Amino acid sequence: MPRHSRGFDTDAAFAHLARCDRKLGTWMKKLGPIKPDPRWRKAFDPVDALARAILYQQLSGKAAGTIVGRVEGAIGSTRFHCDTLAKVDDPGLRACGVSGNKTLALRDLAAREARGEIPDLRRMSTMDNDAIIDALTSIRGIGRWTVEMMLMFRLGRPDVLPVDDLGVRKGAQVVDKLEEMLKPKELLERGERWGPYRTYASLYLWRIADAGVKAKEPTRRSQE
């Protein structure tokens, strides 16, 4: 059974994308190389990462961090798993600031872990992207985008294109100088030429989107 390594050759990705897409390549050369993410080589716990993703959804980083800290205090651990989450009841989670929907999502995650349904890193290394997405999006509160972020930033999979991400779509709009953002299906077709390094292309599209927004910001004139 083939295994998927974590991370990829960013130099090869840069050369490939610059060669196959001149518009994107122009931006890439302007922004410079993006180095490999150090998280690609670090071990992590998928169940704990998914629990934290649930808690951080639709909240600012500061607010979510406060709630996470309260839950850690309530369970007496910094590790979110079925055994530790069992140490606090639903009212206890609500008292920490966890919403009803997120509480249900955490309970579903814990139950699936207890049944052995959540693949660990070793098992994920034998699964392709779609198989991991299918396995994890069955969890309540975990959508495709959340799993795609794990694939890109934690597992270092080279060929992920999150077509529903507004930043990626905005970046593609800037590259192609379009009046409107491409629809997800259109972006999927547009991104076919970026394979097998669509993750690396996405990293640039986020940066290009940020650069495009800054370029449109009005220059403030100093008061004389």
Residues acting as catalytic residues: 165
Distance (Å, rounded) from C-alpha 156 to C-alpha 85?
28
Calculate the alpha carbon distances from 151 to 73, 141, 194 in Å: 29, 17, 17
Nearest to 157 by CA among 118, 199, 202: 199
